[in-house]
């Protein structure tokens, strides 16, 4: 029996002398029969599994999935640090090596490397990926969450490699042997480029857990898959889907492990402030409204699904809507507490001359702080051009402090800073890790400092504890 493998619309199509193939394990139906085309198909992301199984079953095959040229002349000036080399080696070792390829591939081997690398912000995940591209020397797709990050990757790749760099996103659709794409653009194009790039890199790989984005990885046949993230696990458990599509975490290190040698040593200071009497009275009132409804409804608010249930009920239950609005108001009170702002003023005075980033969850507070302390503000409303100008001036020292909402948590190359102040945020460990990472770039004699300002005797104390 001889069969042929081709890529078609997000699947590997298997054709040959036999209409039906029985490839082994009934509990793992690798192939499904397509009665319309009278052929068998496998999901594209199972491409290397299919090749391996054909080989084990002794079935001859002609592999026409990838007919892409080797990239020659790739050379990067980067030298990997010890932990970066360890990450690279762990990625190389995860997967099948030396799977025999068909005659159509000239008798070469079809290796597979896969897995996720979890390293803190500022530790050089991009450097590892660039060295992997150099080593694999095959057409590569890099998928990123934002246009800003696309631009950063494109510029970095152009500096390192003397080859054209393509991009999908921001109105540009230019495909080259090395191409950077946003997740949104990759989602739209995946089924048409699934046989173009043997190597795919998912930056901020935790985004792949989203219902739509996970289809990108499913529709690509790439045998080489690398995920990069600072925090892999997701509260909704969707990291298990990412493991299936990209591979498990094969290397993990933390800011604590790298601090002092590869990242700046750091301290975290938690400062508790009291609500004003007026704030306390309103907080207790709205919090009681919220808690009373939870007692009546039986909702425990222990999981994300509990909050979603409250939101769902608020659509047709006035009491649920009142409770939801009360919860939101309580969060606003503790996040915008006047004594937090007074404490921030003291911190800004204490660290005059140092670069400082102030983080908060609310755009209104960003603009309030910007006006009060004459600090440049960045939110999702800030245009790309203005944001770049602010960050460039921060980098060159014209600005020594900026205040931002969640827009700087990931996907933006934030210039070196030594002090961060968190006025408000979620209980997400990912958010905390990303904000801490903004101040950890090493410097001679540098010791980074992150302040957490927390409203005393409020639910915010529990939120702060969760993210720590």
- Decide: 228 and 204 in contact? Cβ < 8 Å: yes
- CA dist 263 and 265 (Å) reads 6
What does the pLDDT read at residue 52? Answer: 85
DSSP code string of 353-392: TS-EEEE-S-HHHHHHHHHHHT--EE-TTS-HHHHHHHHH
| Segment 401-420, tens digit of pLDDT | 999 987 766 555 666 788 98
- pLDDT at residue 397 is higher than 90: no
Q: If you ran DSSP here, which 8-state letter would residue 415 be given?
A: P
| Segment 319-373, tens digit of pLDDT | 989 999 999 999 899 988 999 999 999 999 999 888 899 998 888 899 999 999 9
Domains and CATH numbers, the chain: 2-63 (3.40.1170.30), 82-253 (3.40.50.300), 266-274+337-467 (3.40.50.300), 277-335 (no CATH)
Instruction: Give me the residue label for tokens 């909402």.
Output: 405
- CA dist 7 and 18 (Å) reads 19
- CA dist 269 and 65 (Å) reads 54
CA distances, 246 to each of 110, 134, 184, 212, 465 (Å): 17, 20, 18, 15, 31
- pLDDT at residue 110 is higher than 50: no
User: Phi and psi dihedrals of 257, rounded to 5?
Assistant: -70, -30
What does the pLDDT read at residue 415? Answer: 63
User: Phi and psi dihedrals of 407, rounded to 5?
Assistant: -65, -20
Confidence at 105, pLDDT banded by 50, 70, 90: very low
| Segment 63-80, tens digit of pLDDT | 999 977 778 878 888 889
On the 0-12 / 13-18 / 19+ scale of CB atoms within 10 A, 401 is buried
- pLDDT at residue 15 is higher than 80: yes
- CA dist 105 and 111 (Å) reads 12
Token readout for 98 is 């030396």
Identify which has the larger pLDDT, 174 or 72: 174
- CA dist 367 and 369 (Å) reads 5
Neighbours of 275 (CB within 10 A): 21
- Decide: 253 and 433 in contact? Cβ < 8 Å: no
Instruction: Among 28-42, 214-228, 323-337, name the most confident range.
Output: 214-228
> Which is it for the CA torsion 56, 61, 65, 68, positive or negative?
positive
Instruction: Among 112-116, 217-221, 234-238, name the most confident range.
Output: 217-221
What does the pLDDT read at residue 381? Answer: 87
What does the pLDDT read at residue 102? Answer: 34
Identify which has the larger pLDDT, 299 or 301: 299
Of 6-20, 150-164, 207-221, the least confident: 6-20
Instruction: Among 12-21, 229-238, 242-251, name the most confident range.
Output: 242-251
On the 0-12 / 13-18 / 19+ scale of CB atoms within 10 A, 104 is middle
- Mean pLDDT score across all residues of the chain: 85
Token readout for 296 is 């009546």
Token readout for 346 is 């003291």
Of 54-58, 86-90, 203-207, 457-461, the least confident: 54-58
Token readout for 457 is 């005797």
Among 88, 12, 7, 89, CA closest to 43? 12
Percentage of the chain modeled with pLDDT above 70: 89
Neighbours of 309 (CB within 10 A): 17
Q: If you ran DSSP here, which 8-state letter would residue 103 be given?
A: G
Mean per-residue pLDDT, 216-243: 88
Mean per-residue pLDDT, 232-243: 80
Mean per-residue pLDDT, 272-295: 93
What does the pLDDT read at residue 99? Answer: 36
User: Phi and psi dihedrals of 291, rounded to 5?
Assistant: -65, -40
Q: What angle do CA 192, 194, 196 make, to 5 degrees?
A: 95
């Amino acid at each position: 029996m001889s069969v042929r493998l081709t890529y078609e619309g997000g699947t590997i199509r298997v054709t040959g002398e036999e209409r039906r193939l029985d490839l082994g394990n009934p509990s793992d139906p690798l192939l499904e029969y397509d009665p319309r085309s009278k052929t068998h198909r496998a999901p594209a992301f199972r491409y290397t599994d299919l090749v391996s199984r054909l080989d084990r079953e002794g079935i001859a095959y002609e592999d026409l999935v990838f007919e892409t040229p080797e990239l020659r002349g790739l050379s990067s000036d980067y030298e990997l640090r010890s932990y970066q080399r360890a990450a690279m080696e762990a990625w190389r070792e995860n997967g099948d090596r030396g799977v025999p390829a068909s005659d159509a591939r000239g008798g070469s081997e079809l290796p597979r490397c896969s897995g996720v690398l979890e390293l803190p912000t500022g530790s050089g995940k991009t450097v590892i990926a660039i060295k992997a591209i150099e080593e694999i020397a095959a057409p590569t797709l890099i998928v990123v969450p934002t246009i800003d990050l696309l631009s950063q990757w494109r510029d970095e790749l152009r500096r390192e490699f003397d080859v054209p760099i393509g991009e999908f996103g921001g109105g540009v659709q230019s495909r080259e042997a090395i191409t950077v794409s946003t997740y949104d653009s990759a989602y739209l194009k995946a089924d048409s480029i699934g046989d173009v790039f043997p190597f795919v890199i998912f930056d901020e790989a935790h985004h792949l857990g989203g219902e739509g984005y996970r289809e990108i990885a499913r529709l690509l046949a790439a045998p080489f898959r690398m995920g990069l993230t600072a925090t892999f696990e997701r509260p909704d458990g969707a990291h298990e889907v990412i493991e299936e599509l990209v591979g498990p975490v094969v290397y993990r290190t933390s800011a604590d492990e790298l601090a002092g040698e590869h990242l700046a040593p750091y301290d975290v200071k938690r400062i508790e402030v009291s609500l004003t009497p007026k704030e306390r009275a309103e907080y207790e009132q709205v919090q009681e409204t919220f808690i009373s409804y939870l007692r009546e409804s039986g909702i425990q608010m222990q999981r994300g699904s509990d909050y979603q249930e409250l939101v769902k009920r608020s659509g047709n239950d006035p009491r649920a809507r009142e409770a939801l609005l009360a919860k939101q108001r309580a969060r606003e009170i503790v996040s915008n507490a006047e004594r937090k702002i007074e404490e921030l003023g003291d911190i800004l005075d204490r660290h005059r001359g140092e670069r400082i980033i102030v983080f908060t969850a609310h755009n209104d507070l960003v603009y309030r702080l910007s006006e009060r302390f004459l600090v440049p503000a960045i939110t999702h409303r800030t245009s790309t051009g203005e944001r770049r100008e602010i960050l460039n001036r921060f980098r060159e020292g014209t600005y020594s402090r900026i205040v931002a909402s969640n827009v700087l948590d990931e996907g933006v190359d934030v210039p070196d800073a030594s002090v961060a102040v968190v006025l408000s945020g979620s209980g997400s460990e990912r958010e905390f890790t990303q904000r801490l990472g903004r101040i950890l770039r090493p410097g001679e004699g540098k010791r980074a400092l992150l302040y957490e300002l927390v409203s005393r005797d409020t639910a915010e104390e529990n939120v702060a504890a969760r993210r720590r």
